Amino acid sequence: MERITSRKNRMIASLRLLGSDAKERREQGYYVCDGLKLLEEAVNARAEIATVLWKEHGSEPVEIPGAQQLIAPEDVFEVASPMANSPGPVFTVKIPENREDITPRNAIVLENVQDPGNVGTVLRTANALGIGAVVLTGACADLYHPKTVRATMGAIFRQRVERIPLTALRQVLESWDLPLVGAVLSERAENILAMDLTHAAVAVGSEGSGLSRELINLCAKEVIIPMQPDSESLNAAVAASIIMWEMRGRML
């Protein structure tokens, strides 16, 4: 296994750039993951792992077929790692190129959810509850940001995710035969407990701004999660999780 001792090493610089620059990830077609748990999930999901950088005196290296294996002392490893005080390893995974042709039975749509942790949590929950697709539209956090990836806890390797521009959303959902329902605080919004969301796409916006008027205008119906009158709005990931539970519950 090759040992890297310089912080200026080409591989160290490449890992650091992939972890910090979304444009670099798109151009190279790879993203960075951190931690043994994610590595195990990637291997089990048969993700295409290109490079694995181990930290000396960190996690015990394991054989990864087809991957370039490297090791570095702590000070060099920390330059490459997107997370502080990580035990490692840091590794790169190829971004999938092919979209699935199978029509999803339902979908959760996120619009302008900019927090990577929220986006990652929604992916993790969607995978756990068997949601057909997670759709990202508008200014959502980068799917391959290290914080998004870490928050998925491995679901990123299994969960179907589609990034669809708002201008194309109606056409795509119609091709899936999924009516669009918006989570909106409005007079026409129906109680989620009274709706059948078995075969639907439900849209959730950011906690601060909610759904845009443009997306609301695309919705066939609107839905609301009943709460106490004096309570604050729910975090986007929490709201999406409640909605997905209802979607799953109606499928059983």
* Per-residue tens of pLDDT for the chain, all 252 residues: 889 999 999 999 999 999 999 999 999 999 999 999 999 999 999 999 999 999 998 777 888 989 999 999 999 999 999 888 888 899 999 999 866 778 999 999 999 999 999 999 999 999 999 999 999 999 999 999 999 999 999 999 999 999 999 999 999 999 999 999 999 888 788 899 889 998 999 999 998 889 999 999 999 999 998 888 888 778 999 999 999 999 986 544
Domain count, the chain: 2
Q: What six digits make up the tokens of 64? A: 């990864």
How is residue 245 annotated by DSSP?
H
Range of the domain at 181: 107-249
State whether 55 and 83 are in the same domain.
Answer: yes
Residue 61 lies in a domain: yes
Residue 231 lies in a domain: yes
State whether 225 and 120 are in the same domain.
Answer: yes
Residue 20 lies in a domain: yes
Q: What six digits make up the tokens of 141? A: 């956090």
Residue 101 lies in a domain: no
State whether 30 and 139 are in the same domain.
Answer: no
Residue 100 lies in a domain: no
Q: Are 202 and 129 in contact (CB under 8 A)?
A: no
Our CA dihedral for 109, 112, 114, 117, rounded to 10 degrees, sits at -20
Residue 38 lies in a domain: yes
State whether 126 and 196 are in the same domain.
Answer: yes
Phi, psi of 54 (to 5 degrees): -95, 150
Domain boundary among 94, 117, 140: 94
Residue 125 lies in a domain: yes
